[in-house]
């Protein structure tokens, strides 16, 4: 009896994807500080998106669990149902929206920046070899320009490529690059002005998963309204970062 009732309930709700009491599996990359990274003291996923995701789940009364997945297969695994959301610093772009749906953004379109070794001429931005992580909006931008694109599966490999001379510059989110520049004692510098790419960063969900998208959308809107989202942005990205 209990089982039939449960099955009936399941049938009634399953079309809408994840149920409130189901564990929501949250996919992330874990290699993109300060957005998401593996905390080396605890071994757990940490970062802005971890804290935000946990808070979203708490407010929406969802039971959430984090899953770490390689960046290059992060979308295929979402659509085939291995997890239910992507929070991995993923910018909302038209190309991605053809495959998955996004909630409203939880970070504004933020500056991407070029970094290079100190003393590099600014012209390499247009004509040099630019390293970027594959399948990112930055890689897309370089591919469309005149410069040569050098792609890497993880973001920190782009920095190594710059250091050992394989690339003339790296293009990535400025917030990711800033600590590398700050820690380098002048070896690395920002090259020229920032560029604005994409439509901000949102939570990626399956296109058929309207219920989950609406729930997360509502909670993100709440957090924007009460200022808690801005406080979190300031904590992880500093006071200069664009806020809502």
Cβ proximity to other proteins, 16 vs 127, nearer residue: 16
- Does residue number 238 form part of the binding site for other proteins (CB under 8 A)? no
Q: Look at residues 58, 140, 127, 129 and name the one whose alpha carbon lies nearest to residue 96.
A: 140
The H-or-E segment that residue 2 falls in is helix 2-14
Of 43, 119, 165, 186, the one binding other proteins by CB under 8 A: 43
Please tell me whether residue 184 adopts helix, strand or coil conformation: coil
In whole angstroms, give the CA distance from residue 196 to residue 113.
Answer: 9
Cβ proximity to other proteins, 141 vs 216, nearer residue: 216
Count of residues binding other proteins (CB under 8 A)?
A: 49
- Does residue number 93 form part of the binding site for other proteins (CB under 8 A)? no
Q: Look at residues 224, 228, 235 and name the one whose alpha carbon lies nearest to residue 108.
A: 224
- Does residue number 106 form part of the binding site for other proteins (CB under 8 A)? no
Of 20, 76, 123, 240, the one binding other proteins by CB under 8 A: 76
- Does residue number 35 form part of the binding site for other proteins (CB under 8 A)? no
Q: Contact 103/216 with Cβ under 8 angstroms?
A: yes
Looking only at the bridges linking them, the beta strands covering 23-28 and 85-86 are parallel
- Does residue number 20 form part of the binding site for other proteins (CB under 8 A)? no
- Does residue number 156 form part of the binding site for other proteins (CB under 8 A)? yes
- Using the contact rule CB under 8 A, the part of the chain among 9-17, 106-114, 123-131, 223-231 near other proteins is 9-17
- Using the contact rule CB under 8 A, the part of the chain among 23-31, 130-138, 165-173, 196-204 near other proteins is 23-31
Q: Which residues are within 8 A (CB) of 125 and not within 5 positions of it... i.e. 6 or more apart?
A: 114, 147, 169, 191, 192
- Does residue number 4 form part of the binding site for other proteins (CB under 8 A)? no
Using the 8-state DSSP alphabet, how is residue 91 labeled? B
In whole angstroms, give the CA distance from residue 70 to residue 109.
Answer: 24
Of 8, 79, 196, 225, the one binding other proteins by CB under 8 A: 79
In whole angstroms, give the CA distance from residue 112 to residue 243.
Answer: 16
Residues near other proteins, by CB under 8 A: 7, 10-11, 14-15, 17, 19, 22-23, 30-31, 33-34, 37-44, 65, 67-70, 73, 76-77, 79-82, 99-100, 154, 156-157, 159-160, 163, 179-180, 182-183, 206-209
């Amino acid at each position: 009896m209990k089982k039939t009732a449960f099955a009936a309930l399941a049938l009634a709700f399953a079309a809408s994807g994840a149920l409130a009491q189901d564990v929501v599996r949250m996919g992330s990359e874990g290699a993109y500080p300060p957005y998401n990274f593996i905390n080396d003291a605890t071994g757990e996923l940490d970062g802005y998106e971890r804290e935000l995701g946990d808070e979203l789940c708490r407010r929406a009364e969802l039971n959430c669990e984090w899953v770490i997945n390689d960046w290059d297969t992060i979308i295929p695994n979402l659509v085939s149902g291995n997890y239910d959301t992507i929070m991995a610093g993923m910018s909302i772009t038209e190309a991605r929206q053809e495959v998955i749906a996004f909630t409203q953004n939880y970070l504004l379109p933020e500056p991407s920046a070029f970094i290079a070794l100190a003393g590099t001429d600014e012209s390499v931005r247009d004509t040099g070899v630019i390293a970027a992580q594959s399948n990112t909006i930055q890689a897309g931008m370089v591919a469309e320009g005149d410069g040569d694109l050098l792609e890497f599966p993880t973001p920190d490999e782009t920095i190594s490529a710059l250091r050992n001379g394989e690339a003339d510059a790296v293009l990535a989110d400025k917030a990711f690059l800033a600590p590398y520049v700050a820690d380098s004692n002048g070896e690395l510098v920002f090259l020229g002005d920032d560029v604005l790419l994409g439509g901000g960063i949102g939570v990626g969900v399956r296109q058929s998963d309207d219920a989950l998208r609406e729930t997360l959308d509502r909670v993100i809107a709440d957090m924007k309204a009460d200022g808690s989202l801005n406080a979190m942005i300031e904590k992880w990205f500093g006071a200069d970062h664009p806020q809502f």
